[in-house]
Structure 1
Amino acid sequence: MVTSDLIDTHKVEAILGLQTLEEVLSVGEIVSKAQIPALSLLDSVPRWALDRFSFLVQVSPSHQFAQMKAFVAVLESCGWNSFTFIYEDINSASTLVMPHLMGAIKESGVQMSSIVRLSSLSSSSLLGELGRINTKPCRVFLVHASLEMGIHIFQNAKSLGMMERGYVWITTNLITDLLHTVNSSVFSIMEGVVGLGSSFPEHDSRFHDFSAKFQKKFKIEQPEEETNIPGIFAVEAYDATWTLALALSRENMSGQKLLDELSSISLTGITGEVQLINRQSIASHIFQLVNVIGKYYRQLGFWSDGLGFSEVINDTVTYNTSLQNLGHIFWPGKPLHTPRGWSIPTNVKPLRVGVPAVAIFKEFVEVKYDHNNHSFTVTGYSIELFKETVKRLPYYLPYEFYPFTGSYDSLVKQVYLKNVDAVIGDVSVVSNRYQYAEFTHPFTETGLMMVVPITSYHQQWLFVKPFTYGMWIITILFSIYNALVIYLIERKHSPELQGSVMNQTGILLSLAFTRTISKNSDEVHSNLTRMTTVAWIFAAIIIGQCYTASLTSMLTIRRLTPQVTDYEALKNANAVVGYGKGSHVARYLEDVLGFKSENLRNFTSPEECAYSLKNRTMAAVFLETPLTKLFLSKYCKSFTPAGTTFRDGGFAFVLPKGSPMVPDFTKALLNVSESGTLRDLEKRMLGSEECVDQDAIHDEYGSLGLSTFWSLFLLTGGTSTVALAIYVIISLRKYYQREGVSPITIISDIRKYLMYRRKRLSRKVSDLESRNTLEMT
């Protein structure tokens, strides 16, 4: 009614004010019908309201989203990732900050622990709400309320001991921008509070002139008020008035023309540049931070969107991301260090943590039962890592372990069924498990590996391996060729190189496979022979040394090769492969790799796995990478990884879907890793990766046995035996020919001798039997 009267009776051409959303909505509809611009000083006019009411203009800059980003920057700088939001629900405008707050924390790792909605100044309701949030671990509070409500909040918080050491209180501009108006008694109950407030150049000469005039007039009109310093609200109203006055000063400005003129004006006011875009003042991106100390407050510095924190605002300032660079902050209770942002609550229920009771590799998790005392203990690498991670959470988190005997899929499902609150152990990150829970960042290597028995590279024909077949052929051919050249050159001069064809052939082969001829240099008649011999010896020395070095390397370096290198060969041969009982690997082998279900076998311990591989009841086993390392550290001389490492998610902690603790645990896990604690735990709990196999299939790879060279011994022994046999036969033949004895006679004599020995043996057997018969009678 008042607005209509102003328009109809007083014929106003514009309206300035509208500080609440209710005023904006009621007046906006009226002025839009009358086509008279209405300038609102509310800094959070919704965009939909401006679109609905075409003559509504927001002249105070909107900075709620940027202010919430500044708040998040403070939290991240201090290492706090959780806070409690306290707001006053007295009008619609107070709730408009919520979307901006949610948008700001969405872009960060900060989370809202809880929300407190206040709608009255009743001390009992305030005490009840504050007492409720005081039972939670979070100790960081953001207060978005009017100054009057804020004072009541801090009075009740002080009575509950919530303004002491360990607590953090941060206020928005609704309180901070009015701190200059309160007295010292209010500061005493707010000591330690950090406030985010609007910023404008207070040292500018225009503000000084305005402030002097403002204080003079204010003292005349409000003589009872002690504080008369103008704040951001007075300054913004002053700039808005100047903007409207400048537009009205133009000729024939009213209605739509006046609205267009307001949008075209750009001036430098006390708050800075004043400009309207789409009937909305350009947003402010700079906020001041203040700290209540003693009976007043001091300015800490500024935060600029996209730049960070700084002590002052000018063209040469250096920005940084740390609030600590602005100087020491006096938090509640005046601690020497920044509060950690959480504390031990009074009634927090312990986190129910499920652990696999039948884990195959006890190094990761093992449940030991004490049946006498009806209790159990849980140990292992995953358990210790969980404890170290919880220590680094930004809040207190008690927990209790609950053993589970089912499969790992069933264990993860318990989180979804709310039977447990988390799961830890050697639990792999698998895609189908995401329908029941969420996972932290993996704390182990990822991958699935195939492990198979090994075979030694040391074979009976290893001595031929240093050279390729082509090299052996070329070496032999050149040796024969060089010997033939020497033979042809020296043949006429050396009686030893003459004789029968058989004798000359033997001499030629002897020359081919000896380093030099048996004659000394004086007995060589041709320089061509000497030249050929020198070149041949030089080449033979180089080739021989290279052969020796290569063979030495092969013999002294342990070389083990897998018996199978491709899982496809196992699948095509219908070979039996193994997996850890209860793990997701069985499904992967069947669904992804294509193994038949009847060819899959599970095992329940590393010992059973090794026994099955050694006895060939399983051709290979498939293990996650961390389990593969543990297994091979025990059986490194018997088995080896082979083939491709398949994609796998690694081990991680399991938490409920949508749990706000997932980023907290992930960040804490990274902290454990970066601090070196993770590596220390691996060494202490999982041991080193050095081989400790005491039950190897191949006993001593460092010593060379008969198996390596039996073929050489067979070759040289066989050659010697054949040569000896030929020599004996030829010698005997010559002897009997010389004595005139026929070979037939020799055979007859041998037969007679053998028959004589047989008769004597038969007689001795008969005598022995007769003697035994007499003794028995």
Structure 2
Amino acid sequence: MICFVLILSTQNNIIATAASDTTSAVHTTMKDNEHVVGIVGAIVDHTSRSGKEEKVAMRMAMEDFYSITNQTLILHIIDSQRDPMHAALGAKDLITTQQAQAILGPQTWEGTSLVAKVGSENRVPVLCFADDTPKWATEVWPFLVQASAANTFYQMKAVAAIVQDSSEWFRVTVIYDDSDSSINEVLPQLSSALREVGTEIHNLVPLPPFVSFSELSEELERLKNDQTRVFVVHLSVPLALRFFEKARELNMMEKDYVWITTDPFTSLVHSFNASTISSMQGVVGVKRYFPEDVQSYDAAWTVALAMNQSSKLLDGQNLLSKILQSKFDGLSGKVEFNTTVDQKLPPAQVFQIVNVVGKSYRELGFWSEQSGFTASLGENAKNSSSMEVLGQVFWPGAPRLTPKGWTTTSSNNKPLRIGVPSLSNFKQYVNVEEDYDSPNNLSFSGFAIDVFKATLEELPYDFPYNFFPFNGTYDSLVEQIHLKKFDAIIGDVAMVARRYKHAEFTHPYTESGLTMVVSVQPETRNKAFLFMKPFTLSMWVIIALVNLYNGFVVWFIERNHCPEVKGSVVNQIGILLWLAFSTLFSLHGDKLHSNLSRMTTVVWLFMALVITQTYTANLASMLTVQRLEPTVSDIDVLRSSNAMIGNSRGSFVKTYLTQVLKFNLNNIKNLSSPDDYAKALRSKEVAAVFLEVPLAKLFLAKYCKGFIRVGPTYKVGGFGYVFPKGSPMLASVDEALLKVFESGKLLELEQSMLASEKCEEMADGDGDNETTPSLSPSSFFVLFIITGATSTIALVFYLCRVYKSMFGHKNLIWRLMMAVIEGWVCGKGRFSRKVSDLPENVLNFSGSTAGC
């Protein structure tokens, strides 16, 4: 970047000037009679490359200012020796001995805070290059001006954008300088930027400026044993160099690690030697688009312009006002200070992304909030929210793919400790038993364990673990995650809001909800009309219509033969109704005079016999097998009757019952097991039991007779697996769990669990839920067709005979039809004779059926 500065210079002798003298600042090329408009002091680090470049840039500014205005500024430069106290003493010397009217630098916040104090006490403006000066700094030291265009907020958003580019970096560890500026400015803004992209700060590691190598080793060993492998490093240059050197010694610059650095460290990567670069392979850094040396040039130019605006030397307050009023286009951008808030330059919103690789670094591209990532700047540049547009990134260990950024095991390869509740009331979900054949003499089984193992099969990586029983409440079990006693919890753990204070849950692997289970009793409603139940209403209507029709046919045929069916209209109607229904119970064939009515009655009687027998059987079944109904219909009945209700001991259900459903706490009884639920319900000790839906289904699978679910299902969380807050494994486990759902494996495991429960018979003569259905006309459709058709044929034949007797036998077709009907009624032989005799006896055919 120094080459870029040199190109902008119009003076060819600047490099020689910069290299020749690091303590004297008086330009040797100036003539004795030239007018001196001011004296400027500067504090830089002579031992660093950036400090040397800053000296060159400031001297270039003085030379350029002289060449344009023919005015001379004397520049005194002192060495800070990387010591904030030495920088403060140097500032004191510049002001009192060298009569400096303004001071440029230093670059660190520690040095700036001390120099700003000296400058404000002596009313001398201090233009610092530190990036992380807090907002309150200018209130304490009014003569402090930030000449750096850095903006911590946008820089932290650039860091968050890099973290967001990976779908698995949900937690990061932040290593930072233990200083007020980092704590008050950097950390809150970094935390806010990471939350916006769905990532949280998992661990904060403050490092004091003079931390020893042994202390560094201890911190790095602790980080190495943690699962998180994504680190954001916000350290000063000297401390960061020592940090990465120790990290390489501990093999933490290898595969699966991610290191992201911030300014001011990243801006100085180009100044590091080959040995330093070798300890930082794969580091990705964010830095301002313009380096410090350009800002040093602009700062020196700003002071020169302010001093040149008066023919006499300005006092400190006036000079400060002139500096803050500066407005020009500098090498680093527009120079215009914010005079209303913190006396800073406008924030830089474009940041460069670099990647340390080989013996130097690669400039991958740029990031800005408006455009995202881009490989180059310009109107035709391709923008993207993904780092893919920047090309290949070389991560630590040179993996082909983006590092996972976390590990399932610590560096000592210890499997994850997974807690399992050992006091579950439903052993079908999780059961802990002694098993001397297993490594820890315990076996873990159940639906929750089976689903978890099926989930692990869907993960793209190994997941070593060991189960450990926990003998305590479920709330205390979840707290063990927060206390780092367990790395995860597997079992029938309900997803309750209060437990999110300590941990996070996967997607629920069971149906969610709370339901009420009650016992059943014989149905007592509609007993007065029980005799109607064997048949449906439509069946009764069809029976009545068919009987009326058949009775009408018999009455119509027999009315001329039987005196008892004659008489008044009322008498005949009564006879008709009597005939319609008496046949259901008795046969009066000896009183019938016509074969047509006898034929109708026989078929009719067969139908009546079938129907009466079916009715008797169905009614007997209904009286024997009683219909059952729930003993309680809804929770309003429970509350109004002040009845006792049951819930699972130690569960969250009691809180829901009292706070949401408004039950009296004294009316809630704790029960321990499914057997206790059944016993309490049968003995009327409780009127109802409230269970989570998956447990209710399991309970009813075992006690399938005598109990039933009633009322609505109240929405509560189901069962889920528990992980630490912000666990990097949570997202991948959720994805694997969804694959288990979609493959049908979960349904298969649930059905297998429910099928393994054998339904227990009810004691004390309790019935079941089976009922005898009412019979409909569809069950007797063919029978109704036969009897209806028989009666219709008899009626038609009778009408035809009446017609014949009234109108004679003059029509051959008529006689043929009558022969067919008579033959069918009287028998096949007679039919044949009648047909054969037609040609010669046609005039003598009488159609009489007297011989039938």
TM-score class, shorter: 0.5 to 0.7
In structure 2, how many angstroms separate the alpha carbons of the residues matched to 1:76 and 1:604?
47
Give 1:235 deviation, angstroms.
Answer: 0.9
**Equivalent residue in structure 1 for 2:396, among 332, 336, 347:** 332
Over 3 Å counting, the alpha-carbon distance change for 1:466 and 1:641 in structure 2 is farther
- Counterpart of 1:661 in structure 2 is 725
**Equivalent residue in structure 2 for 1:64, among 129, 142, 152:** 152
**Equivalent residue in structure 2 for 1:74, among 162, 180, 192:** 162
Q: For residue 671 of structure 2, what is the amino acid of its counterpart?
A: N
In structure 2, how many angstroms separate the alpha carbons of the residues matched to 1:264 and 1:18?
22
Give 1:442 deviation, angstroms.
Answer: 5.7
C-alpha contact (below 8 Å) 1:57/1:280 kept by paired residues: yes
Give 1:449 deviation, angstroms.
Answer: 0.5
C-alpha contact (below 8 Å) 1:355/1:423 kept by paired residues: yes
Q: For residue 602 of structure 1, what is the amino acid of its counterpart?
A: L
**Equivalent residue in structure 1 for 2:512, among 442, 446, 457:** 446
Spell out, residue by residue over 1:162-214, the C-alpha distance to the aligned partner (whole angstroms, 9 max, x if none): 333333333222332122223445434433222222114xxxxxxxxxxxxxx
Spell out, residue by residue over 1:698-738, the C-alpha distance to the aligned partner (whole angstroms, 9 max, x if none): 889698578x99xx9xxxxxxxxxxxxxxxxxxxxxxxxxx
- Counterpart of 1:526 in structure 2 is none
**Equivalent residue in structure 1 for 2:232, among 142, 145, 148:** 142
Over 3 Å counting, the alpha-carbon distance change for 1:616 and 1:666 in structure 2 is same
Q: For residue 67 of structure 1, what is the amino acid of its counterpart?
A: Q
C-alpha contact (below 8 Å) 2:459/2:736 kept by paired residues: no
Q: Does 1:269 align with 2:330?
A: yes
Give 1:623 deviation, angstroms.
Answer: 0.8
SS in 2 for 1:623: strand
C-alpha contact (below 8 Å) 1:22/1:92 kept by paired residues: no
Over 3 Å counting, the alpha-carbon distance change for 1:21 and 1:157 in structure 2 is closer
**Equivalent residue in structure 2 for 1:18, among 106, 124, 128:** 106
Q: For residue 56 of structure 1, what is the amino acid of its counterpart?
A: L
C-alpha contact (below 8 Å) 1:243/1:262 kept by paired residues: yes
Over 3 Å counting, the alpha-carbon distance change for 1:287 and 1:581 in structure 2 is same
Greater CA drift, 308-317 or 410-419: 410-419
SS in 2 for 1:661: coil
Q: Does 1:301 align with 2:365?
A: yes
Over 3 Å counting, the alpha-carbon distance change for 1:414 and 1:331 in structure 2 is closer
Give 1:281 deviation, angstroms.
Answer: 1.3
Give 1:82 deviation, angstroms.
Answer: 3.4
In structure 2, how many angstroms separate the alpha carbons of the residues matched to 1:587 and 1:93?
46
- Counterpart of 1:720 in structure 2 is none
Over 3 Å counting, the alpha-carbon distance change for 1:175 and 1:430 in structure 2 is closer
Q: Does 1:642 align with 2:710?
A: yes
In structure 1, how many angstroms separate the alpha carbons of the residues matched to 2:204 and 2:265?
21
In structure 1, how many angstroms separate the alpha carbons of the residues matched to 2:160 and 2:148?
23
Q: Where does the alignment leave 5 or more consecutive residues of structure 2 unmatched?
A: 1-88, 549-562, 582-621, 781-852
Give 1:60 deviation, angstroms.
Answer: 0.7
**Equivalent residue in structure 2 for 1:55, among 143, 164, 168:** 143
- Counterpart of 1:594 in structure 2 is 663
The alignment yields a C-alpha RMSD, in angstroms, of: 5.1
SS in 2 for 1:642: strand
SS in 2 for 1:301: strand
Over 3 Å counting, the alpha-carbon distance change for 1:317 and 1:562 in structure 2 is farther
Give 1:506 deviation, angstroms.
Answer: 3.0
C-alpha contact (below 8 Å) 1:84/1:116 kept by paired residues: no
C-alpha contact (below 8 Å) 1:109/1:663 kept by paired residues: no
Q: Where does the alignment leave 5 or more consecutive residues of structure 1 unmatched?
A: 201-231, 481-494, 514-554, 713-777
- Counterpart of 1:499 in structure 2 is 567
C-alpha contact (below 8 Å) 2:200/2:726 kept by paired residues: no
Q: TM-score, normalised by structure 2?
A: 0.60
Q: TM-score, normalised by structure 1?
A: 0.65
Q: For residue 239 of structure 1, what is the amino acid of its counterpart?
A: D
Q: Which residues of 2 match residues 115-514 of structure 1 at below 5 A?
A: 115=205, 117=207, 119-120=209-210, 126-127=216-217, 129-200=219-290, 232-250=291-309, 256=317, 258-277=319-338, 278=340, 279-305=343-369, 307-343=371-407, 344-347=409-412, 353-370=418-435, 375-385=441-451, 400-405=466-471, 408=474, 423-430=489-496, 437-440=502-505, 443=508, 444-453=510-519, 461-462=532-533, 499-500=567-568, 502-506=570-574
Q: How many residues are paired up?
A: 614
Over 3 Å counting, the alpha-carbon distance change for 1:137 and 1:434 in structure 2 is closer
- Counterpart of 2:691 in structure 1 is 623
Q: For residue 718 of structure 2, what is the amino acid of its counterpart?
A: G
Over 3 Å counting, the alpha-carbon distance change for 1:410 and 1:316 in structure 2 is same
Spell out, residue by residue over 1:559-594, the C-alpha distance to the aligned partner (whole angstroms, 9 max, x if none): 997553212223444655443344343565467542
Spell out, residue by residue over 1:639-688, the C-alpha distance to the aligned partner (whole angstroms, 9 max, x if none): 44221323434334457xxxx53554653553334444587552243227
Spell out, residue by residue over 1:16-72, the C-alpha distance to the aligned partner (whole angstroms, 9 max, x if none): 333333443344345445555332222222211112222321121232333233223
In structure 2, how many angstroms separate the alpha carbons of the residues matched to 1:145 and 1:636?
67
C-alpha contact (below 8 Å) 1:81/1:394 kept by paired residues: no
In structure 1, how many angstroms separate the alpha carbons of the residues matched to 2:181 and 2:647?
61
C-alpha contact (below 8 Å) 2:160/2:194 kept by paired residues: yes
C-alpha contact (below 8 Å) 1:143/1:171 kept by paired residues: yes
Give 1:329 deviation, angstroms.
Answer: 1.3
SS in 2 for 1:133: helix
Q: For residue 298 of structure 2, what is the amino acid of its counterpart?
A: D
In structure 2, how many angstroms separate the alpha carbons of the residues matched to 1:329 and 1:41?
30
In structure 2, how many angstroms separate the alpha carbons of the residues matched to 1:355 and 1:414?
11
C-alpha contact (below 8 Å) 2:517/2:691 kept by paired residues: yes
**Equivalent residue in structure 2 for 1:44, among 109, 132, 135:** 132
C-alpha contact (below 8 Å) 1:32/1:54 kept by paired residues: yes
In structure 1, how many angstroms separate the alpha carbons of the residues matched to 2:483 and 2:365?
50
> Among the aligned pairs, what percent are the same residue?
38
In structure 1, how many angstroms separate the alpha carbons of the residues matched to 2:248 and 2:486?
38
- Counterpart of 1:537 in structure 2 is none
In structure 2, how many angstroms separate the alpha carbons of the residues matched to 1:432 and 1:678?
30
